[in-house]
Amino acid sequence: MKFNDFRFRVAFRVILLGISVSVLLYLANQPNMIFAVILMVFVMIAQLFELYRFISQTNRKLTRFLESVKYSDFISGFNNDNKLGSSFRELNTAFNEVLEAFRKARSEKEEHWQYLNTIVQQVRTGILSFDTQGNVQLINANAKKFVGISNLQNIHELEHQNPKLYQALIDVLPGRSTLYKSGAEFLLTLQATELRIRGNTVKLVTLQNIQNELQKQELEAWQNLTRVLRHEIMNSITPISSLTSTLREILDHELIKKDSTYELNPEGAEDLRDGLETIENRSKGLIQFIDAYREYTSLPQPKLKTVRVKSMLENVAQLLKPELKKTDIQFSTRCDSEYLTVQADEEMIEQVLINLIKNAIEALTQTKHPVITVCGTYTENAVLIEISDNGPGIIPEAIDRIFVPFFTTKKTGSGIGLALSRQIMQMHNGTLTVTSVPEVNTTFTLRF
Protein backbone atom coordinates (compact mmCIF):
# COMPACT_ATOMS: atom_id res chain seq x y z
CA MET A 1 0.00 0.00 0.00
CA LYS A 2 1.07 3.58 -0.63
CA PHE A 3 0.63 4.40 3.09
CA ASN A 4 3.44 1.96 3.90
CA ASP A 5 5.80 3.36 1.27
CA PHE A 6 8.97 4.93 2.63
CA ARG A 7 8.69 7.97 0.33
CA PHE A 8 5.06 8.58 1.33
CA ARG A 9 6.00 8.46 5.01
CA VAL A 10 8.86 10.90 4.50
CA ALA A 11 6.61 13.27 2.49
CA PHE A 12 3.89 13.03 5.16
CA ARG A 13 6.38 14.00 7.89
CA VAL A 14 7.74 16.88 5.81
CA ILE A 15 4.20 18.21 5.21
CA LEU A 16 3.43 18.01 8.93
CA LEU A 17 6.66 19.86 9.61
CA GLY A 18 5.67 22.51 7.07
CA ILE A 19 2.26 22.93 8.68
CA SER A 20 3.91 23.24 12.09
CA VAL A 21 6.20 25.99 10.74
CA SER A 22 3.20 27.84 9.30
CA VAL A 23 1.31 27.60 12.60
CA LEU A 24 4.40 28.78 14.46
CA LEU A 25 4.74 31.82 12.20
CA TYR A 26 1.02 32.60 12.60
CA LEU A 27 1.14 32.33 16.38
CA ALA A 28 4.29 34.43 16.55
CA ASN A 29 2.38 37.36 15.01
CA GLN A 30 -0.46 37.08 17.51
CA PRO A 31 -0.34 38.84 20.89
CA ASN A 32 -0.28 36.81 24.14
CA MET A 33 0.68 33.56 22.35
CA ILE A 34 4.10 32.97 23.89
CA PHE A 35 3.11 29.70 25.56
CA ALA A 36 1.65 28.42 22.28
CA VAL A 37 4.79 29.46 20.39
CA ILE A 38 7.01 27.57 22.87
CA LEU A 39 4.75 24.55 22.59
CA MET A 40 4.98 24.63 18.78
CA VAL A 41 8.75 24.90 18.97
CA PHE A 42 8.87 21.66 21.04
CA VAL A 43 6.47 20.05 18.59
CA MET A 44 8.74 21.02 15.66
CA ILE A 45 11.82 19.69 17.46
CA ALA A 46 10.01 16.41 18.07
CA GLN A 47 9.01 16.26 14.39
CA LEU A 48 12.59 16.93 13.25
CA PHE A 49 13.91 14.23 15.58
CA GLU A 50 11.28 11.79 14.31
CA LEU A 51 12.15 12.65 10.68
CA TYR A 52 15.89 12.11 11.39
CA ARG A 53 15.21 8.83 13.19
CA PHE A 54 12.97 7.61 10.42
CA ILE A 55 15.42 8.47 7.63
CA SER A 56 18.53 7.18 9.47
CA GLN A 57 17.16 3.64 9.70
CA THR A 58 18.92 2.89 6.39
CA ASN A 59 22.19 3.80 8.07
CA ARG A 60 21.31 1.51 10.96
CA LYS A 61 20.52 -1.23 8.48
CA LEU A 62 23.90 -0.75 6.77
CA THR A 63 25.67 -0.76 10.17
CA ARG A 64 23.92 -3.98 11.16
CA PHE A 65 24.89 -5.55 7.82
CA LEU A 66 28.56 -4.61 8.25
CA GLU A 67 28.57 -5.92 11.82
CA SER A 68 27.10 -9.20 10.57
CA VAL A 69 30.01 -9.47 8.10
CA LYS A 70 32.55 -8.43 10.73
CA TYR A 71 31.44 -11.01 13.31
CA SER A 72 30.54 -13.71 10.74
CA ASP A 73 26.88 -13.59 11.77
CA PHE A 74 25.30 -14.84 8.58
CA ILE A 75 22.11 -16.17 10.20
CA SER A 76 20.37 -12.77 10.44
CA GLY A 77 18.18 -11.65 7.57
CA PHE A 78 16.85 -8.34 6.24
CA ASN A 79 13.13 -8.61 5.47
CA ASN A 80 11.26 -6.71 8.19
CA ASP A 81 10.92 -3.40 6.32
CA ASN A 82 10.13 -4.72 2.83
CA LYS A 83 6.78 -2.99 3.22
CA LEU A 84 8.52 0.42 3.02
CA GLY A 85 8.74 0.27 -0.76
CA SER A 86 10.64 -1.27 -3.68
CA SER A 87 13.89 0.51 -2.84
CA PHE A 88 13.93 -1.15 0.60
CA ARG A 89 13.01 -4.51 -0.87
CA GLU A 90 15.86 -4.24 -3.37
CA LEU A 91 18.30 -3.18 -0.64
CA ASN A 92 17.20 -6.03 1.63
CA THR A 93 17.46 -8.52 -1.23
CA ALA A 94 21.01 -7.33 -2.00
CA PHE A 95 22.00 -7.61 1.67
CA ASN A 96 20.56 -11.10 1.94
CA GLU A 97 22.33 -12.24 -1.25
CA VAL A 98 25.67 -10.93 0.02
CA LEU A 99 25.19 -12.67 3.37
CA GLU A 100 24.27 -15.90 1.57
CA ALA A 101 27.44 -15.62 -0.53
CA PHE A 102 29.50 -15.13 2.64
CA ARG A 103 27.71 -18.07 4.24
CA LYS A 104 28.53 -20.35 1.30
CA ALA A 105 32.15 -19.12 1.18
CA ARG A 106 32.60 -19.82 4.88
CA SER A 107 31.02 -23.25 4.50
CA GLU A 108 33.31 -24.09 1.57
CA LYS A 109 36.32 -22.78 3.50
CA GLU A 110 35.47 -25.00 6.46
CA GLU A 111 35.00 -28.00 4.16
CA HIS A 112 38.38 -27.34 2.51
CA TRP A 113 40.00 -26.94 5.91
CA GLN A 114 38.54 -30.24 7.12
CA TYR A 115 39.67 -31.93 3.90
CA LEU A 116 43.24 -30.58 4.13
CA ASN A 117 43.41 -31.29 7.85
CA THR A 118 42.36 -34.90 7.21
CA ILE A 119 45.10 -35.24 4.59
CA VAL A 120 47.69 -33.68 6.92
CA GLN A 121 46.71 -36.04 9.72
CA GLN A 122 46.87 -39.11 7.48
CA VAL A 123 50.24 -38.55 5.77
CA ARG A 124 53.17 -40.59 7.06
CA THR A 125 55.38 -37.53 7.29
CA GLY A 126 55.24 -35.57 10.55
CA ILE A 127 54.25 -31.91 10.07
CA LEU A 128 54.88 -29.26 12.72
CA SER A 129 54.62 -25.46 12.47
CA PHE A 130 55.23 -22.79 15.08
CA ASP A 131 55.57 -19.00 15.16
CA THR A 132 58.40 -16.81 16.47
CA GLN A 133 57.04 -17.11 20.03
CA GLY A 134 57.04 -20.89 19.75
CA ASN A 135 53.26 -21.26 19.66
CA VAL A 136 52.37 -24.42 17.75
CA GLN A 137 50.08 -23.62 14.81
CA LEU A 138 49.79 -27.11 13.36
CA ILE A 139 50.88 -30.59 14.39
CA ASN A 140 49.69 -33.88 12.94
CA ALA A 141 49.50 -37.35 14.47
CA ASN A 142 52.89 -38.55 13.23
CA ALA A 143 54.64 -35.41 14.49
CA LYS A 144 53.10 -36.02 17.93
CA LYS A 145 54.46 -39.58 17.83
CA PHE A 146 57.94 -38.38 16.89
CA VAL A 147 58.12 -35.63 19.56
CA GLY A 148 56.53 -37.85 22.21
CA ILE A 149 53.95 -35.27 23.40
CA SER A 150 50.29 -35.71 22.53
CA ASN A 151 49.22 -32.16 23.36
CA LEU A 152 52.05 -29.82 22.38
CA GLN A 153 51.00 -26.18 22.71
CA ASN A 154 54.39 -24.46 22.56
CA ILE A 155 57.62 -25.71 21.04
CA HIS A 156 59.55 -24.64 24.13
CA GLU A 157 57.82 -27.42 26.09
CA LEU A 158 60.23 -29.79 24.32
CA GLU A 159 63.29 -28.07 25.77
CA HIS A 160 63.17 -30.12 29.00
CA GLN A 161 61.51 -33.31 27.75
CA ASN A 162 63.55 -33.81 24.57
CA PRO A 163 66.33 -31.19 24.40
CA LYS A 164 68.14 -32.74 21.40
CA LEU A 165 65.02 -32.76 19.21
CA TYR A 166 64.11 -29.27 20.45
CA GLN A 167 67.52 -27.96 19.42
CA ALA A 168 67.29 -29.72 16.06
CA LEU A 169 63.88 -28.11 15.36
CA ILE A 170 65.16 -24.66 16.33
CA ASP A 171 68.46 -24.94 14.45
CA VAL A 172 67.26 -26.39 11.14
CA LEU A 173 67.42 -23.58 8.56
CA PRO A 174 64.77 -22.89 5.90
CA GLY A 175 65.58 -24.78 2.73
CA ARG A 176 68.00 -27.10 4.57
CA SER A 177 67.69 -30.52 6.17
CA THR A 178 69.24 -32.25 9.14
CA LEU A 179 69.22 -35.70 10.73
CA TYR A 180 68.03 -36.57 14.22
CA LYS A 181 68.33 -40.04 15.74
CA SER A 182 65.98 -41.09 18.52
CA GLY A 183 67.09 -44.45 19.86
CA ALA A 184 66.83 -47.46 17.58
CA GLU A 185 63.29 -46.75 16.38
CA PHE A 186 63.49 -43.33 14.72
CA LEU A 187 66.01 -41.74 12.40
CA LEU A 188 64.35 -38.49 11.39
CA THR A 189 65.23 -36.18 8.55
CA LEU A 190 64.07 -32.64 9.37
CA GLN A 191 63.35 -30.13 6.59
CA ALA A 192 62.18 -26.57 7.21
CA THR A 193 60.60 -23.66 5.38
CA GLU A 194 59.29 -20.27 6.50
CA LEU A 195 55.92 -18.69 5.71
CA ARG A 196 54.41 -15.26 6.29
CA ILE A 197 50.83 -15.58 7.57
CA ARG A 198 48.91 -12.42 8.52
CA GLY A 199 52.17 -10.59 9.10
CA ASN A 200 53.63 -13.31 11.35
CA THR A 201 56.57 -15.56 10.50
CA VAL A 202 55.74 -19.25 10.81
CA LYS A 203 58.34 -22.03 10.59
CA LEU A 204 57.06 -25.25 9.01
CA VAL A 205 59.11 -28.38 9.73
CA THR A 206 58.54 -31.81 8.22
CA LEU A 207 59.80 -34.90 10.08
CA GLN A 208 60.25 -38.10 8.10
CA ASN A 209 61.35 -41.38 9.61
CA ILE A 210 63.87 -42.94 7.22
CA GLN A 211 64.96 -45.71 9.58
CA ASN A 212 63.18 -48.54 7.71
CA GLU A 213 64.22 -47.31 4.28
CA LEU A 214 67.79 -46.83 5.46
CA GLN A 215 67.88 -50.32 6.94
CA LYS A 216 66.60 -51.77 3.65
CA GLN A 217 69.23 -49.86 1.68
CA GLU A 218 71.91 -50.88 4.16
CA LEU A 219 70.88 -54.52 3.93
CA GLU A 220 70.88 -54.36 0.13
CA ALA A 221 74.32 -52.70 0.14
CA TRP A 222 75.73 -55.38 2.46
CA GLN A 223 74.20 -58.12 0.31
CA ASN A 224 75.77 -56.66 -2.82
CA LEU A 225 79.12 -56.25 -1.07
CA THR A 226 79.17 -59.76 0.42
CA ARG A 227 78.12 -61.20 -2.96
CA VAL A 228 81.13 -59.56 -4.62
CA LEU A 229 83.45 -60.46 -1.72
CA ARG A 230 82.28 -64.08 -1.87
CA HIS A 231 82.84 -64.18 -5.63
CA GLU A 232 86.36 -62.73 -5.40
CA ILE A 233 87.42 -64.84 -2.43
CA MET A 234 86.03 -68.05 -3.93
CA ASN A 235 87.85 -67.32 -7.19
CA SER A 236 91.11 -67.42 -5.23
CA ILE A 237 90.41 -70.00 -2.54
CA THR A 238 88.90 -72.68 -4.81
CA PRO A 239 91.93 -73.10 -7.12
CA ILE A 240 94.32 -72.88 -4.15
CA SER A 241 92.44 -75.68 -2.37
CA SER A 242 92.30 -77.79 -5.52
CA LEU A 243 95.97 -77.29 -6.31
CA THR A 244 96.94 -78.13 -2.71
CA SER A 245 95.20 -81.49 -3.04
CA THR A 246 96.86 -82.10 -6.41
CA LEU A 247 100.33 -81.28 -5.06
CA ARG A 248 99.82 -83.61 -2.14
CA GLU A 249 98.89 -86.42 -4.55
CA ILE A 250 102.03 -85.67 -6.56
CA LEU A 251 104.15 -85.98 -3.45
CA ASP A 252 102.35 -89.14 -2.34
CA HIS A 253 102.65 -90.98 -5.65
CA GLU A 254 105.68 -89.59 -7.44
CA LEU A 255 108.08 -88.87 -4.59
CA ILE A 256 110.43 -91.88 -4.32
CA LYS A 257 112.51 -92.59 -1.22
CA LYS A 258 116.00 -93.94 -1.83
CA ASP A 259 118.05 -94.72 1.25
CA SER A 260 117.89 -91.50 3.29
CA THR A 261 116.93 -89.19 0.37
CA TYR A 262 113.82 -88.50 -1.72
CA GLU A 263 113.74 -88.27 -5.53
CA LEU A 264 111.11 -86.71 -7.81
CA ASN A 265 110.97 -87.32 -11.52
CA PRO A 266 111.28 -84.29 -13.84
CA GLU A 267 107.60 -84.35 -14.87
CA GLY A 268 106.43 -84.39 -11.26
CA ALA A 269 108.87 -81.61 -10.34
CA GLU A 270 107.53 -79.45 -13.18
CA ASP A 271 103.95 -80.06 -12.06
CA LEU A 272 104.92 -79.17 -8.51
CA ARG A 273 106.63 -75.96 -9.65
CA ASP A 274 103.62 -74.91 -11.78
CA GLY A 275 101.20 -75.59 -8.95
CA LEU A 276 103.20 -73.59 -6.42
CA GLU A 277 103.51 -70.70 -8.89
CA THR A 278 99.75 -70.71 -9.43
CA ILE A 279 99.15 -70.73 -5.66
CA GLU A 280 101.57 -67.82 -5.30
CA ASN A 281 99.83 -65.80 -8.04
CA ARG A 282 96.36 -66.41 -6.64
CA SER A 283 97.57 -65.53 -3.15
CA LYS A 284 99.01 -62.24 -4.46
CA GLY A 285 95.70 -61.54 -6.20
CA LEU A 286 93.83 -62.13 -2.95
CA ILE A 287 96.22 -59.80 -1.09
CA GLN A 288 95.70 -57.12 -3.76
CA PHE A 289 91.96 -57.52 -3.39
CA ILE A 290 92.20 -57.07 0.40
CA ASP A 291 94.43 -54.01 -0.10
CA ALA A 292 91.82 -52.53 -2.45
CA TYR A 293 89.13 -53.15 0.18
CA ARG A 294 91.28 -51.43 2.81
CA GLU A 295 91.76 -48.46 0.47
CA TYR A 296 88.01 -48.20 -0.05
CA THR A 297 87.21 -48.26 3.67
CA SER A 298 89.94 -45.85 4.88
CA LEU A 299 89.54 -42.67 2.85
CA PRO A 300 90.78 -39.55 4.69
CA GLN A 301 88.43 -36.63 5.34
CA PRO A 302 88.66 -33.99 2.58
CA LYS A 303 90.42 -30.68 3.32
CA LEU A 304 88.04 -28.20 1.75
CA LYS A 305 89.12 -24.96 0.13
CA THR A 306 87.98 -22.74 -2.73
CA VAL A 307 89.08 -24.33 -6.03
CA ARG A 308 88.81 -22.76 -9.48
CA VAL A 309 87.21 -25.34 -11.76
CA LYS A 310 88.99 -24.15 -14.92
CA SER A 311 92.45 -24.46 -13.31
CA MET A 312 91.62 -27.91 -11.93
CA LEU A 313 90.50 -29.17 -15.36
CA GLU A 314 93.66 -27.79 -16.96
CA ASN A 315 95.82 -29.54 -14.34
CA VAL A 316 94.11 -32.87 -15.00
CA ALA A 317 94.51 -32.43 -18.77
CA GLN A 318 98.21 -31.72 -18.29
CA LEU A 319 98.68 -34.83 -16.12
CA LEU A 320 96.98 -37.06 -18.72
CA LYS A 321 98.65 -35.46 -21.74
CA PRO A 322 101.39 -38.14 -22.12
CA GLU A 323 98.81 -40.95 -22.00
CA LEU A 324 96.48 -39.19 -24.43
CA LYS A 325 99.32 -38.67 -26.92
CA LYS A 326 99.55 -42.44 -27.35
CA THR A 327 95.96 -42.50 -28.70
CA ASP A 328 94.08 -40.70 -31.44
CA ILE A 329 91.42 -39.44 -29.00
CA GLN A 330 90.13 -35.92 -29.55
CA PHE A 331 90.29 -34.53 -26.00
CA SER A 332 89.00 -31.11 -24.93
CA THR A 333 88.10 -29.21 -21.77
CA ARG A 334 85.74 -26.27 -21.38
CA CYS A 335 84.54 -24.10 -18.50
CA ASP A 336 81.63 -21.66 -18.63
CA SER A 337 83.42 -19.06 -16.52
CA GLU A 338 86.92 -18.18 -15.38
CA TYR A 339 85.45 -17.55 -11.91
CA LEU A 340 83.55 -20.82 -11.49
CA THR A 341 84.62 -22.27 -8.12
CA VAL A 342 83.76 -25.15 -5.77
CA GLN A 343 84.52 -25.94 -2.15
CA ALA A 344 86.58 -29.13 -2.43
CA ASP A 345 89.75 -31.04 -1.69
CA GLU A 346 91.52 -30.41 -5.00
CA GLU A 347 93.71 -33.54 -4.92
CA MET A 348 90.78 -35.86 -4.19
CA ILE A 349 88.58 -34.38 -6.93
CA GLU A 350 91.48 -34.48 -9.40
CA GLN A 351 91.84 -38.18 -8.59
CA VAL A 352 88.13 -38.70 -9.35
CA LEU A 353 88.50 -36.89 -12.69
CA ILE A 354 91.61 -38.92 -13.57
CA ASN A 355 89.78 -42.19 -12.79
CA LEU A 356 86.81 -41.24 -14.95
CA ILE A 357 88.91 -40.00 -17.88
CA LYS A 358 91.11 -43.14 -17.77
CA ASN A 359 87.96 -45.27 -17.83
CA ALA A 360 86.82 -43.32 -20.90
CA ILE A 361 90.22 -43.82 -22.59
CA GLU A 362 90.02 -47.58 -22.00
CA ALA A 363 86.45 -47.66 -23.30
CA LEU A 364 87.44 -45.93 -26.58
CA THR A 365 90.12 -48.41 -27.69
CA GLN A 366 87.84 -49.91 -30.37
CA THR A 367 85.91 -46.72 -31.27
CA LYS A 368 86.42 -44.86 -34.54
CA HIS A 369 86.92 -41.10 -34.18
CA PRO A 370 87.03 -41.24 -30.36
CA VAL A 371 86.10 -38.06 -28.46
CA ILE A 372 86.32 -37.13 -24.77
CA THR A 373 85.02 -33.79 -23.49
CA VAL A 374 85.27 -32.41 -19.96
CA CYS A 375 82.99 -29.47 -19.22
CA GLY A 376 82.45 -27.27 -16.14
CA THR A 377 79.04 -25.59 -15.99
CA TYR A 378 76.78 -23.81 -13.51
CA THR A 379 73.10 -24.52 -13.05
CA GLU A 380 70.60 -22.73 -10.84
CA ASN A 381 71.58 -24.65 -7.71
CA ALA A 382 74.85 -26.44 -8.39
CA VAL A 383 78.21 -26.58 -10.15
CA LEU A 384 78.56 -29.50 -12.58
CA ILE A 385 81.61 -31.18 -14.09
CA GLU A 386 80.68 -33.54 -16.94
CA ILE A 387 82.97 -36.15 -18.55
CA SER A 388 81.53 -37.44 -21.82
CA ASP A 389 82.77 -39.96 -24.40
CA ASN A 390 81.35 -41.55 -27.54
CA GLY A 391 82.42 -45.09 -26.68
CA PRO A 392 80.37 -48.31 -26.51
CA GLY A 393 78.62 -47.14 -23.33
CA ILE A 394 77.20 -49.13 -20.46
CA ILE A 395 74.45 -51.70 -20.89
CA PRO A 396 71.22 -51.03 -18.91
CA GLU A 397 71.69 -54.22 -16.88
CA ALA A 398 75.04 -52.98 -15.54
CA ILE A 399 74.45 -49.25 -15.15
CA ASP A 400 72.81 -49.66 -11.72
CA ARG A 401 75.67 -51.81 -10.42
CA ILE A 402 78.80 -50.03 -11.64
CA PHE A 403 79.08 -48.06 -8.37
CA VAL A 404 78.93 -51.24 -6.24
CA PRO A 405 82.38 -51.90 -4.71
CA PHE A 406 84.43 -54.55 -6.57
CA PHE A 407 81.90 -54.86 -9.39
CA THR A 408 83.59 -54.40 -12.76
CA THR A 409 82.81 -55.02 -16.41
CA LYS A 410 86.49 -54.96 -17.39
CA LYS A 411 88.77 -57.99 -17.61
CA THR A 412 91.34 -56.30 -15.38
CA GLY A 413 90.83 -53.93 -12.51
CA SER A 414 89.79 -54.01 -8.88
CA GLY A 415 86.28 -52.65 -9.39
CA ILE A 416 86.62 -49.95 -6.73
CA GLY A 417 87.46 -46.92 -8.92
CA LEU A 418 83.87 -45.77 -9.44
CA ALA A 419 82.86 -46.74 -5.90
CA LEU A 420 85.76 -44.66 -4.53
CA SER A 421 84.85 -41.77 -6.80
CA ARG A 422 81.25 -41.76 -5.64
CA GLN A 423 82.35 -42.01 -2.00
CA ILE A 424 84.66 -39.01 -2.45
CA MET A 425 81.80 -36.99 -3.94
CA GLN A 426 79.51 -37.96 -1.06
CA MET A 427 82.18 -36.75 1.37
CA HIS A 428 82.02 -33.40 -0.47
CA ASN A 429 78.19 -33.34 -0.05
CA GLY A 430 77.93 -33.88 -3.80
CA THR A 431 76.85 -36.65 -6.14
CA LEU A 432 78.30 -38.72 -8.97
CA THR A 433 75.81 -39.97 -11.55
CA VAL A 434 75.97 -41.52 -15.00
CA THR A 435 73.79 -41.56 -18.10
CA SER A 436 74.59 -43.79 -21.06
CA VAL A 437 73.20 -44.59 -24.47
CA PRO A 438 75.14 -47.61 -25.79
CA GLU A 439 77.25 -46.86 -28.89
CA VAL A 440 76.24 -43.17 -28.70
CA ASN A 441 77.33 -41.32 -25.56
CA THR A 442 78.22 -41.85 -21.90
CA THR A 443 78.35 -38.95 -19.42
CA PHE A 444 79.52 -39.00 -15.81
CA THR A 445 78.36 -35.93 -13.86
CA LEU A 446 79.96 -34.54 -10.70
CA ARG A 447 77.47 -32.27 -8.92
CA PHE A 448 78.67 -29.90 -6.19
Radius of gyration of the chain (CA): 45
Query: What local confidence, expressed as pLDDT, does residue 406 receive?
Result: 63
Q: Which helix (H) or strand (E) holds 67?
A: helix 57-70
Per-residue buried b or exposed e for 377-390, using 16+ beta carbons within 10 Å of the residue's own CB: bbeeeebbbbbbbb
- Domain boundary assignment for the chain: 2-102, 124-209, 215-297, 305-447
Structural domain 215-297, CATH architecture: Orthogonal Bundle (1.10)
Residue 390: CB partners within 8 Å, gap ≥ 6? 364, 367, 369, 370, 371, 440, 441
Q: From first to last of the 448 residues of the chain, give the pLDDT tens digit.
A: 444 455 666 677 777 777 877 877 777 777 777 777 777 777 778 777 776 776 666 666 667 766 676 666 666 666 655 455 455 666 677 777 777 787 788 788 888 878 887 877 878 788 888 888 888 888 888 888 888 887 888 888 888 888 888 888 888 888 888 888 876 567 888 888 888 887 788 888 888 887 777 777 776 777 766 776 676 677 667 777 777 777 777 777 766 666 667 666 777 777 777 777 777 777 776 776 666 666 656 667 888 899 999 988 988 888 888 888 888 889 898 998 888 899 998 888 888 898 898 888 888 888 888 999 999 998 878 899 999 999 888 888 777 777 776 666 665 555 667 878 888 888 888 889 988 888 888 899 999 9
Question: What's the gap between Cα 70 and its chain centre?
Answer: 40
Query: What local confidence, expressed as pLDDT, does residue 77 receive?
Result: 63
Query: What local confidence, expressed as pLDDT, does residue 387 receive?
Result: 92
Query: What local confidence, expressed as pLDDT, does residue 373 receive?
Result: 92
**Within a 10 A sphere around the Cβ of 213, how many other Cβ atoms?**
11
Tell me the three state secondary structure of residue 287. Answer: helix
- In 3D space, the residue among 69, 136, 77, 78 whose CA is nearest the CA of residue 106 turns out to be 69
Ramachandran area for residue 406 (φ above 0: left; ψ -120 to 50: alpha; else beta): left
**Within a 10 A sphere around the Cβ of 5, how many other Cβ atoms?**
17
Query: What local confidence, expressed as pLDDT, does residue 3 receive?
Result: 44
Single-letter residue type at 214: L
Query: What local confidence, expressed as pLDDT, does residue 402 receive?
Result: 78
Task: Round to whole Å and give the CA distance between 279 and 295.
Answer: 24
The CATH number of 124-209 is which of 3.50.50.60, 3.40.50.2300, 3.90.1150.10, 3.30.450.20?
A: 3.30.450.20
3-state secondary structure 182-207: ECCCEEEEEEEEEEEECCEEEEEEEE
Contact assessment for residue 320 and residue 372, using Cβ atoms and an 8 Å cutoff = no
Query: What local confidence, expressed as pLDDT, does residue 405 receive?
Result: 67
Q: Strand pairing partners for 187?
A: 181
CATH code for the part of the protein at 305-447: 3.30.565.10
pTM: 0.46
Tell me the three state secondary structure of residue 156. Answer: helix
Query: What local confidence, expressed as pLDDT, does residue 2 receive?
Result: 47
